[in-house]
Amino acid sequence: MFWIRLRSSIILVIAALFLLLTGGWVLAAGLFVLSLIAFWELVRAAETGRQPSGKNRLGVLECIGFAGTAVYYAALFFGAEPVYWLGILGAVFLGMMAAYVITFPDLQAGQVMTAFFSFFYGPVLFSFIYLTRELPGGIYMVWLIFISSWICDTCAYLSGMAFGKHKLAPVLSPKKSVEGAVGGVLGSALVGALFGHLFLNMVFEGQEMAAVCALIGGAGAVISQIGDLAASGIKRNHGIKDYGKLIPGHGGVMDRFDSVLFTAPIIYYLAILLIRFE
């Protein structure tokens, strides 16, 4: 299992390097595909398409979610103003509610709520990777998303193994500790500071990017742990081990990117608030 996970991790890193360094329509297309998969994993986990026969099938809610994802990413890529992004979110919501009303009582209210939640959780949150990459200096800035999530995971694991005594969420994730969580935040902040000093100081002259990136990395690490635990909670609620089997040794897209999805919008908005773009 270790070698399978390692091989998958190497492939993921290579793919991430290619997409993030290339940017533009290549990154948008990659995130679009990941978003479609994440949306399907979530609605399948919640069984929004479950029929009386016990089988899951592609239903009207899933079709609206897929169509909404396509329109949303097209709007992002072609530079639509944020007001149009909100309009698309509203249209997806209204479309799902219209399907609920027209097919009543075939669809349950919980299915509609879950489908819209899945659309926001997967496709919309994934899009903040693209938005961060499109910022001035975004080719560097976007890596803070992964520093805040994947570096946090590694540092939290090592800190927990070495010092962990107090359970962080004993029912939801018995192996996670408070000491591990603190170590993850500190590790992300330190790596963020180093990254800011080495790469971003030359991009944003006159700003102390080591301190800014330490703050962004630490804050992102806190949110990434919430994302990790939230995704685990959803799996426990629905009695599944993994969201999918797409990535050998890791599970599905949601299993690998659960913390990244929470971190991406935080990094995007903190960058806008804390950095002077000229």
Structure confidence by residue, pLDDT tens digits, 78-92: 988 888 989 999 999
Which whole number is the average pLDDT over 139-148? 94
- Nearest Cα residue to 118 out of 264, 254, 255: 254
Question: Residue 57 has what pLDDT?
Answer: 62
User: Is residue 33 scored above 90 in pLDDT?
Assistant: yes
Name 151's Cβ contacts closer than 8 Å, sequence gap at least 6: 187, 188, 191, 217, 221
Which whole number is the average pLDDT over 125-148? 95
- E strands present in the chain: 167-169, 173-177
Question: Residue 25 has what pLDDT?
Answer: 94
DSSP bridge partners of 56: 50
Question: Residue 277 has what pLDDT?
Answer: 83
Percentage of the chain beyond pLDDT 70 is 94
Question: Residue 54 has what pLDDT?
Answer: 46
Question: Residue 236 has what pLDDT?
Answer: 87
pLDDT category, 123, cuts 50, 70, 90? Answer: very high
Question: Residue 226 has what pLDDT?
Answer: 94
Percentage of the chain beyond pLDDT 90 is 63
Question: Residue 52 has what pLDDT?
Answer: 43
Question: Residue 242 has what pLDDT?
Answer: 83
Name 200's Cβ contacts closer than 8 Å, sequence gap at least 6: 137, 140, 141, 209, 212, 213
CA distance 278 to 270: 16
pLDDT category, 51, cuts 50, 70, 90? Answer: very low
Q: Which helix (H) or strand (E) holds 228?
A: helix 209-237
The mean pLDDT value of the chain amounts to: 89
Which whole number is the average pLDDT over 148-156? 91
Segment 155-201, tens digit of pLDDT: 998 998 888 888 888 888 888 899 999 999 999 999 999 999 999 99
Which whole number is the average pLDDT over 57-67? 90
Question: Residue 205 has what pLDDT?
Answer: 85
Judge whether 141 and 152 are in contact, CB under 8 Å: no
